[in-house]
Structure 1
Amino acid sequence: MSSTAVPLVIAFLGIVGTLASGLMTQRLAEKAKSKELDRSERQHAEERQYETQRAIEEAVRSCCITLNTASLDYHSELNNFWYALRAGHVTDDLRSRLDDARREHRARYSEAQMRVSDVVLAASDDVHRRLSRMYGVLKRLDGGIPPRREGESLEQAHTQIMELWDQLSEMRRIMRQSIGVPADVP
């Protein structure tokens, strides 16, 4: 090669190298930005998933609390109604309070059917059936309708109302376990 060609080749290679390094730098910057965007999108997706999961957990927790409260209120109203029935002092106000407690319990139970786990639902279903049975028995006794089956006397109704405490306690234990409340927390 001639002595003038060498500097031209070196100059040409220098220019090509300079242009190539600019393109490579731009490509690397684009790759880094793309990775950063991907990481950011993944992080946002994880945060949305976490928030969604927290919202679901809070909805289940709230559902368990309101169902437990409604069940206890319904049980209390059944017990109050039983005492009034035994004493012969059932009033329209007591009937109304019992019916309100029943409606509230049914609403909370219906919500639970759509939100809680099958284990919690099984326990709450047992409580719901027993509360409903006691309601029917007491309303029939209040209306002077004879018992439809064995165990529907006033005395037996009270025994069954008192036995409901065990089912209510079991339902509450299962609910607490379901929402992650440690067993040793009161």
Structure 2
Amino acid sequence: MGTATVAAVVGVVGTLLSALLTQRAADRSRQREQERAEELWERRSEALELRACYVALNTVARHYLAALTDQLHALDRETDLPSVRQRLTAARDQHREVYAEAQMRLPERVLGPAATVSHDLGALYGMVRRLDDGTARPGESPAAVERGIDALWERLREMRRQMRADLGAARADSGR
């Protein structure tokens, strides 16, 4: 075999290897781009799920607190009590369900305020039910429930501020 043949073979092999290496580099680049796109989609999906969890928790907590308020006002009106009691029980049950899911998803900085709201809602529920049943404990009165409701609205606002900050909405509010 002559030098010219070896040179030709080496040239052909080099050309083939160059094309192969170029193809492999392009494949790796496409694979990395696909992985980046999948990661971005996953992060967006997680953010949307967290946002939906925040919206649901905020909504059911507000409904629960509104149902407690309605129950407090209905204590003076015997005729409304059965439907108001039923609405309160449904609001409590819905809150429990959404809060149970939220406990598995929320970061600690949001879970703390959410746990406080949930605990306080439960405490107010117990107080309202005891007032309704005529078994109120010392210090439990409609006025005490009303003060508790007013304080709980502020705790709900704090929970919502934490949620919004976690979602980045606070940055949008400040113009950043």
Could you tell me which of 157, 164, 175 is aligned with 1:169? Answer: 157
1-side partners of 2:120 and 2:4: how far apart? Answer: 90
Distance 1:86 1:162, change over 3 A: farther
Work out which of the residue numbers 12, 15, 18 in structure 1 matches 2:5: 15
2:142 is aligned with 1:154: yes
Compute the displacement of 1:53 (Å).
0.7
Name the counterpart of 1:81: 71
In the alignment, structure 1 residue 182 sits paired with structure 2 residue 166: no
After TM superposition, the score normalised by the length of structure 1 is 0.88
Corresponding residue for residue 4 of structure 1? none
User: What are structure 1's unaligned runs of at least 5 residues?
Assistant: 1-10
Q: Which AA in structure 2 matches 1:161?
A: I
Paired with 1:109 and 1:155, the residues of 2 have a C-alpha distance of 28
Is the aligned partner of 1:117 residue 2:117? Answer: no
Establish whether residue 57 from structure 1 lines up as the match of residue 42 from structure 2. no
Q: Hey, what's the Cα distance between the residues in 1 that align with 2:39 and 2:127?
A: 48
The whole-number CA distance in structure 2 between the counterparts of 1:140 and 1:110 is: 25
Contact 2:127 2:136 in 1 (8 A): no
Identity %: 30
Amino acid at match of 2:121: L
Instruction: Kindly provide the CA deviation profile for residues 25-72 of structure 1, in whole angstroms up to 9, marking residues without a partner as x.
Output: 111111111111111111111111111111111000010001001010
Question: 8 Å contact 1:151–1:157 — kept in the other structure?
Answer: no
The Cα offsets for residues 143-186 of structure 1, whole Å up to 9 and x where unpaired, read as 11131xx532221111111111110110111110011113627x
Flag the 1:152–1:95 CA change in 2: closer, same or farther, 3 A: same
The DSSP-based 3-state class of the residue aligned with 1:91 is: helix
Rg (Cα) greater in structure: 1
Name the residue aligned to 2:95.
105
Alignment size in residue pairs: 173
Structure 2: runs of 5 or more not aligned = none
**Structure 2: how far apart are the matches of 1:96 and 1:44?**
52
* 2:122 aligned partner, one-letter code: S
CA distance in 1, matches of 2:103, 2:136: 33
